[in-house]
Amino acid sequence: MTQQIETTQQIEHFIAGARTAGSGQRTQEVYNPATGEATGVLHLADREDLERAVSAARAAAGTWGEMSLARRTAVLFRFRELVAAHTDELAALITAEHGKVLSDAKGEVGRGLEVVEFACGIAEQLKGEFSDQFSTGIDVYSFRQPLGVVAGITPFNFPVMVPLWMAPVAIATGNAFILKPSERDPSPSLLLAELWQRAGLPDGVFQVLHGDKETVDGLLTHPEVDGISFVGSTPIAKYVHETATKHGKRVQALGGAKNHAVVLPDADMDIAADNINAAAFGSAGERCMAISVAVAVGEAADLLVDKLAERARGIRVGNGMEASSEMGPVITPASKERIRRIVTAAEEDGAAVVVDGRDLIVEDHENGFFVGPTVIDRVRQDMTAYEEEIFGPVLAVLRVDSLEEAVEVINANPYGNGTAIFTSSGAYARQFKRQVTVGMIGVNVPIPVPVAWHSFGGWKDSLFGDHHIYGPDGVRFYTRGKAVTERWPEPHHASGASFAFPSSS
């Protein structure tokens, strides 16, 4: 026991440019999910820590927001180089606390880096609009200014990418940003904070405040916080949106998902099976854009299920640090037990578990939180395995008779994050993408996460608020518009007061 305490790391906040344990007395253990061992002690913020972070952010926002675009952008370019140079280190931190395989963790850093690159071009996004001589002698122009202090509350499944969906855009547009990372894998956020500092970002512009509901509630209700970006599960997204809007803040809250991949009989079944397999089981299914439901249309079903099952059985599950592993553990023992329960319930309700990962034991990792790839065929819409976001390596197969029926299933689902269609018909693909009530669509692409120059966001219960995240919508979210109507009358040409509502002339 003593030895364990000695080998665990203290995971602190990053407030006003320095690491600090803060004054909060509560702590929480952080685990390596591949071994089941506690590896860190996380310090949770109290009210005093929160106040320190918010006041440092408020002070920093004033000077940072006033700094020239050229100087702000120079910091972004340096940060881009530093993140790229520390990709391996960031990935190792991710794998150690999240469990995903290293190659996947590096991919996550790469997709976050893309948003930094978008933010390096922020001058283009902030150019504003100008109408010359709209009325005689009058010009009208609009431009945008930062909100001030914004906070980002992020989920465990992308401890680097999701913070980078937010912070680079918030900071490039002139805000101070407070990150409240997931308690499950908090360490990568501290390396990000150091890299920002080394890039020349003034103290207080990027801070990390660790905590749970107490800290989140403090941010949602704090009068000095102007905006909230949230990514996480749907019930919390809804709560965050309601609470923070009630306290006068601008909010974007991205929630959970149940993403369907429709496979038509005319699809190349090998391509469909390869892609769905990777999208269902990559990162142990713990992605908000994971494919968790394959909707097999008509005669596609039998062949598709055979090919999916064959591929799922071949996945090498193990410690994400080992190069041979293709899939790692899930995040907690509770998650593992919940996943197993849902699979068992589906089986009892008449579904066929064609690949069963419930009892997988990984050699030398008996205490790891592993669940093997699982494929459940003949799932119905009234089963828990369909209704709930499982967030594990479980692929449900639904059989339908037509593309129309597939679209009905997707549109009846309360989530609307991502979806995909596999077909060789442009006409069917077009019908599909026009009719589904989902925010992000892949055509023969299983995980259609938009590149950083297009914004990311779902529909229905997958997003609360008006703005999608990063890309042009991210810029709009973190800024407020101003429109100026301007006249410079020639001296001594007073035209007298008019009491009619002004119109153009």
Distance between CA atoms of residues 259 and 289, nearest Å: 7
Q: Which residues of 415-434 are buried (b: 16+ CB within 10 A; e: fewer)?
A: bbbbbbbbbeeeebbebbee
Kindly tell me the burial class for residue 133, based on how many C-beta atoms sit within 10 Å of its own C-beta (0-12, 13-18, 19 or more): exposed
- The answer to whether 179 contacts ligand NAD (rule: CB under 6 A) is no
- The answer to whether 417 contacts ligand NAD (rule: CB under 6 A) is yes
Tokens for 361, please give them: 């034991």
- From the list 59-67, 129-137, 156-164, 344-352, the region that binds ligand NAD by CB under 6 A is 156-164
The least distance separating ligand NAD from the CB of residue 126, rounded to whole angstroms, comes to 25
Smaller CB distance to ligand NAD: residue 50 or 254? 254
What residues numbered 374-393 form the site for ligand NAD, per CB under 6 A? 389, 391
**DSSP letter assigned to residue 65:** H
- 376 touches 354 (CB < 8 A): yes
The least distance separating ligand NAD from the CB of residue 116, rounded to whole angstroms, comes to 18
- The answer to whether 152 contacts ligand NAD (rule: CB under 6 A) is no
Q: Work out the number of other CB atoms within 10 angstroms of the CB of residue 156.
A: 21
Distance between CA atoms of residues 116 and 120, nearest Å: 6
- From the list 60-68, 249-257, 368-376, 426-434, the region that binds ligand NAD by CB under 6 A is 249-257
What residues numbered 254-273 form the site for ligand NAD, per CB under 6 A? 254-257
Distance between CA atoms of residues 182 and 443, nearest Å: 32
CB-nearest residue to ligand NAD:
232
- The answer to whether 183 contacts ligand NAD (rule: CB under 6 A) is yes
- From the list 54-62, 148-156, 260-268, 422-430, the region that binds ligand NAD by CB under 6 A is 148-156
Select from 216, 225, 264, 452 the one that contacts ligand NAD (CB under 6 A): 216
Smaller CB distance to ligand NAD: residue 44 or 273? 44
The least distance separating ligand NAD from the CB of residue 21, rounded to whole angstroms, comes to 19
Task: Kindly give, in sequence order, each residue whose CB lies less than 8 Å from that of residue 101, ignoring residues fewer than 6 positions away.
Answer: 95, 320, 325, 326, 327, 328
Assign 416 to helix, strand or coil. Answer: strand
Task: Kindly give, in sequence order, each residue whose CB lies less than 8 Å from that of residue 414, ignoring residues fewer than 6 positions away.
Answer: 460, 461
Of 199, 225, 288, 447, the catalytic one is 288
Assign 449 to helix, strand or coil. Answer: coil
The least distance separating ligand NAD from the CB of residue 215, rounded to whole angstroms, comes to 8
Beta strands in 161-226 (DSSP E): 176-180, 206-208
| 288 has catalytic annotation | yes
- The answer to whether 288 contacts ligand NAD (rule: CB under 6 A) is yes
Task: State the residues that interact with ligand NAD by CB under 6 A.
Answer: 153-158, 162, 180, 182-183, 212-213, 216, 231-233, 236, 254-257, 288, 389, 391, 417, 458, 462
By annotation, the residues acting in catalysis are 288
